[in-house]
Structure 1
Amino acid sequence: MAELILVRHGQANSTAQDAESYDNLSPLGIEQGRWLGEALQQGALPFSHTVCGTLRRHHQTAAAMGQDLRATDPRLDEFDYFGLAQQMQAEHGIAMPQDGAGFAAHVPVLLDHWQRRALSDVAESFNAFETRVAEALNAHTADGGRVLLVTSGGVISMALRLVLGLDLAATGKIMLQVMNSSLHRIERIHGQMMLAQFNATPHLDAPERAHARTFV
């Protein structure tokens, strides 16, 4: 049996309007990572190894968790949301969101345009993103064991789409619900991938940490 524990990075720069500015944990994001690391040390089985995407916020989260990072995998990197959003604005006049409500409305529209190839100049197609996430899941379950993957919300949403056979609308809803520093567990049993846990935040469940339950 193989077990993947996917962790979304801690809260990043939620006011950013471009990928470079976004790719840095906030002070709360670092605290979320530290709390998660403490929670994972309490009675859990050890990880075979830890793998991060290549983004700064992935590595900052792993460091805050106290994980001994030995490997990176670019297939765990987030898709280029900001690039896609800017292209959609340029081609279709759909403005980038300015707040949480705007983001929630924007995500399903962006995914629809991306999947339908309604954006003419993108760095990565929807199908290519789906393929690389599938390859990452297969690669990191191939040898069995318990593997920690530090990644992003879009990757986690795509992983669940693949495991559960979700349509695009459901994938978008999942994407909006993936919390910062949340845990998601996928098991590979008898050649099939199964979802065993979604959006767990044991390190944030105490009432005094309610302020730290963030989505952006």
Structure 2
Amino acid sequence: MTELILVRHGQANSHATDEAEYDRLSHLGVQQAEWLGAHLAQTNPHFDHVITGTLNRQIGTARAMGYQIAEQDPRLDELSYFALARAIEAQHGIPAPSDATEFARYLPQVIEHWARGDLADVPETFEHFTMRITGLLDEICQRNGRILIVTSGGVIGTVMRQALGLDIPGMAKVMLQVMNSSLHRLEHVHDMLMVGTFNATPHLDAPDRAHARTFI
């Protein structure tokens, strides 16, 4: 059996206007990761393998958690949100949101246009994004043991889509709910991915850490 523990990176630079600016942890993001690492150290700290994407915020999260990274795989990198946002505004007149309520309506529109192939000149197609993630999952599930994967919300949403058979709107809703530094546990048994835990944040559940429960 293979047990997968997926972690979304800690809070990144939420004031960024492009991919490069976004790809660094905020001070709170580092703290979130440290708290998560301390929680795992007190419960079940052992992993047979630790994998991250190649993004700074993913690598920084794993290190702040206290883990040595065995492998960095670009297939765990996030979708290019800012490029998709520019494309949907230029090609369909849908501007970027100005607050959280607008974002909750906006992201599903972006994903649906992207999935339909309605966005031109973007870094990768939706099909390529999906296939690189599911291809890596297939490889990882051939390994035995407990594996920590530090990645991003869009990747986690895609994994949940595969495991639960979600449609595109359902996947977009899942992506909206994935909190920074959240835990997601899946098991590969009987040739199937089974979801055991989604979006857990036990390291942030204390009342004095309520401010640290972030999505962006």
The TM tier, using the shorter chain, reads over 0.9
The alpha-carbon deviation at position 98 of structure 1 amounts to: 2.3
Corresponding residue of 2:76: 76
The total of aligned residue pairs comes to: 216
Q: Report which stretch shifted further, 92-101 or 7-16.
A: 92-101
SS of aligned partner of 2:150: strand
Please, which runs of 5 or more residues in structure 1 have no aligned partner? none
Corresponding residue of 1:184: 184
Q: Report which stretch shifted further, 164-173 or 132-141.
A: 132-141
Corresponding residue of 1:60: 60
Partners of 2:27 and 2:92 in 1: CA distance: 36
SS of aligned partner of 2:68: coil
Alignment map for 1:103-114 (pairs within 5 Å): 103-114=103-114
Alignment map for 1:88-167 (pairs within 5 Å): 88-167=88-167
Whichever residue aligns with residue 189 of structure 2, its letter is I
**Structure 1 position 20 matched with structure 2 position 20:** yes
SS of aligned partner of 1:41: helix
Partners of 2:81 and 2:45 in 1: CA distance: 35
SS of aligned partner of 2:46: coil
The alpha-carbon deviation at position 32 of structure 1 amounts to: 0.1
Partners of 2:84 and 2:147 in 1: CA distance: 31
Q: Percent identity?
A: 53
Partners of 1:43 and 1:30 in 2: CA distance: 20
Partners of 1:120 and 1:42 in 2: CA distance: 48
Partners of 2:177 and 2:28 in 1: CA distance: 18
The alpha-carbon deviation at position 190 of structure 1 amounts to: 1.5
Whichever residue aligns with residue 7 of structure 1, its letter is V
Partners of 2:143 and 2:72 in 1: CA distance: 17
- Deviations 1:163-207 (Å, cap 9, x if unpaired)? 100011111110000000000011000111110110010100011
Please, which runs of 5 or more residues in structure 2 have no aligned partner? none
Partners of 2:70 and 2:148 in 1: CA distance: 11
Q: Report which stretch shifted further, 36-45 or 4-13.
A: 36-45
SS of aligned partner of 1:118: coil
The alpha-carbon deviation at position 120 of structure 1 amounts to: 1.6
Corresponding residue of 2:211: 211
Whichever residue aligns with residue 156 of structure 2, its letter is I
SS of aligned partner of 2:42: coil
Partners of 2:10 and 2:120 in 1: CA distance: 32
Corresponding residue of 2:85: 85
The alpha-carbon deviation at position 70 of structure 1 amounts to: 2.0
Partners of 2:206 and 2:176 in 1: CA distance: 22
Corresponding residue of 1:198: 198
| TM-score, normalised via structure 1 length | 0.98
| TM-score, normalised via structure 2 length | 0.98
Whichever residue aligns with residue 163 of structure 2, its letter is V
SS of aligned partner of 1:58: helix
